[in-house]
């Protein structure tokens, strides 16, 4: 529905010009736009997931475990670091985790701070929970300027700070020293959004938990675990923080099938992580291939990267789409973002991009765009 179409309904004024969030879901051969894992779960994992779903359906007349204890136990075991189920909370995607965090720690008269460019959902979570949204710009290389961060925290005293590392859409990692300094300096909670941590080579912010009671580490099964369709996000933190999230959750928020199937997928973590290691190699190979086309690629530790520069990135996005390759027009100009597909998909992407760039060398003067 178009926002101009509210027909006099008493919709909140801040929603009047808003559109529902989401990248185009287009049915094209090569889809590299929403950072999904391109591989379905391995066959053995699939079989266990189906069996778990069937067992859950046998009892679907009953409400699910409100506390999702079995799943939280498996998630804690997967994370390691001495965590138990009381350190972990799960919800329908890390999107819901973030909303619950802002319901518990943000809200009217409170604020959330992030470091931009970053995940485009953060301002929407803030809006939806009536939390003021504050931003501190990153440096030109997309790292966080610790001094600027501490100054901004002193001035604005945010109740929630969110740091995506590796950051989306830039792929940039934030050093744990910087996160620790921010957490030490803040009376608010610091959410470290590690949606892509499995693709990174450095240590996780989970190592900060024992000494920082205000740090919450958010994760998702959408990316590394090839579970985007299953909708399972989770967060690790001190039990006191987890208890705050338990207060604001809807009753039975996490359905029985999701709990069971996610648990079965976690039993196959090793196979999933082997795939992740392969995708990290493909990312580095694709980055090198684009650099050899004389493009700039922003160093990334996730399953996507920014590439450019393009004077008219929309035209390049369209030209790739015309060749059956969907990338994402998001994040800082003058770049586009691509995520790691299968080896075959990356080959098609690189060929399409080379064609697009060649055309741009003046072979076809009628092209709508220039690099």
Ligand X SMILES: *Cc1c(COP(=O)(O)O)cnc(C)c1O
The residue ranges that bind ligand X (CB under 6 A) are 35, 93-95, 119, 164, 168, 193, 195, 220, 222-223, 228, 233
For residue 270, is the peptide bond before it cis, meaning its omega torsion is within 30 degrees of 0? Answer: no
Q: Give the shortest CB-97-to-ligand X separation in angstroms.
A: 7
- Nearer to ligand X (CB atom), residue 110 or residue 223: 223
Q: List the one residue out of 32, 86, 366, 358 whose CA is nearest residue 242.
A: 86
Q: List the one residue out of 18, 91, 39 whose CA is nearest residue 246.
A: 91
Dig out the tokens for 244 from the structure: 């705050």
Q: List the one residue out of 154, 115, 122, 107 whose CA is nearest residue 138.
A: 115
Q: How far apart are CA 17 and CA 7, in angstroms?
A: 14
- Nearer to ligand X (CB atom), residue 168 or residue 275: 168
With CB atoms as reference, the residue minimizing the distance to ligand X is 93
Q: Give the shortest CB-276-to-ligand X separation in angstroms.
A: 14
- Nearer to ligand X (CB atom), residue 164 or residue 272: 164
Q: Give the shortest CB-183-to-ligand X separation in angstroms.
A: 19
> 3-state DSSP call for residue 321?
helix
Q: Give the shortest CB-83-to-ligand X separation in angstroms.
A: 19
- Nearer to ligand X (CB atom), residue 122 or residue 310: 122
- Nearer to ligand X (CB atom), residue 168 or residue 186: 168
> 3-state DSSP call for residue 164?
strand
Q: Give the shortest CB-319-to-ligand X separation in angstroms.
A: 25
Q: Give the shortest CB-13-to-ligand X separation in angstroms.
A: 27
- Nearer to ligand X (CB atom), residue 104 or residue 319: 104
User: Hey, how many other C-beta atoms are within 10 angstroms of the C-beta on 289?
Assistant: 17
What distance, in Å, lies between the first and last C-alpha atoms of the chain? 35
Q: Give the shortest CB-360-to-ligand X separation in angstroms.
A: 30
> 3-state DSSP call for residue 356?
helix
Q: How far apart are CA 325 and CA 308, in angstroms?
A: 16
- Nearer to ligand X (CB atom), residue 192 or residue 371: 192
Q: Which residues contact 272 (CB under 8 A, 6 or more apart)?
A: 41, 42, 45, 224, 225, 226, 265
Q: Are strands 30-31 and 325-326 parallel, antiparallel or unpaired?
A: parallel
């Amino acid at each position: 529905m178009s926002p101009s179409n509210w027909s006099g309904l008493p919709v909140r004024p801040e929603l009047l010009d808003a559109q529902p969030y989401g990248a185009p879901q287009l049915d094209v051969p090569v889809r590299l736009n929403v950072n999904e894992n391109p591989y379905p779960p391995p066959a053995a994992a699939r079989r266990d997931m189906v069996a778990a779903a069937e067992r859950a359906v046998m009892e679907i007349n009953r409400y699910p475990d409100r506390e999702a204890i079995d799943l939280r136990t498996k998630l804690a075991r997967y994370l390691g670091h001495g965590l138990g189920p009381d350190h972990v909370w799960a919800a329908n995607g890390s999107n819901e985790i973030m909303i619950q965090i802002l319901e518990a720690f943000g809200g009217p008269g409170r604020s959330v701070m992030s470091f931009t460019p970053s995940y485009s959902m953060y301002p929407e979570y803030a809006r939806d929970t009536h939390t003021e949204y504050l931003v501190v710009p990153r440096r030109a290389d997309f790292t966080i300027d610790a001094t600027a961060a501490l100054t901004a925290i002193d001035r604005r005293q945010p109740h929630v700070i969110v740091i995506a590392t590796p950051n989306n859409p830039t792929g940039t990692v934030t050093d744990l020293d910087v996160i620790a300094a921010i957490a030490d300096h803040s009376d608010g909670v610091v959410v470290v959004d590690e949606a892509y941590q499995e693709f990174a080579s450095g240590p996780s912010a989970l190592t900060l938990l024992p000494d920082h009671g205000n740090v919450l580490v958010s994760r998702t099964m959408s990316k590394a675990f090839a579970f985007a369709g299953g909708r399972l996000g989770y967060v690790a933190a001190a039990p006191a923080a987890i208890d705050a999230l338990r207060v604001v959750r809807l009753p039975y928020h996490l359905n029985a099938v999701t709990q069971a199937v996610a648990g079965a997928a976690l039993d196959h973590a090793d196979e999933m992580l082997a795939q992740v290691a392969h995708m990290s190699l493909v990312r580095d190979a694709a980055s090198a291939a684009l650099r050899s086309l004389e493009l700039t690629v922003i160093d990334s530790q996730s399953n996507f990267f920014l590439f450019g520069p393009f004077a008219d990135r929309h035209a390049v996005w369209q030209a790739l789409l015309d060749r059956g390759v969907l990338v994402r027009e998001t994040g800082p100009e003058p770049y586009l973002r691509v995520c790691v597909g299968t080896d075959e998909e990356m080959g098609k992407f690189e060929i399409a991009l080379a064609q697009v760039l060649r055309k741009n060398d003046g072979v076809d003067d009628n092209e709508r765009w220039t690099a």
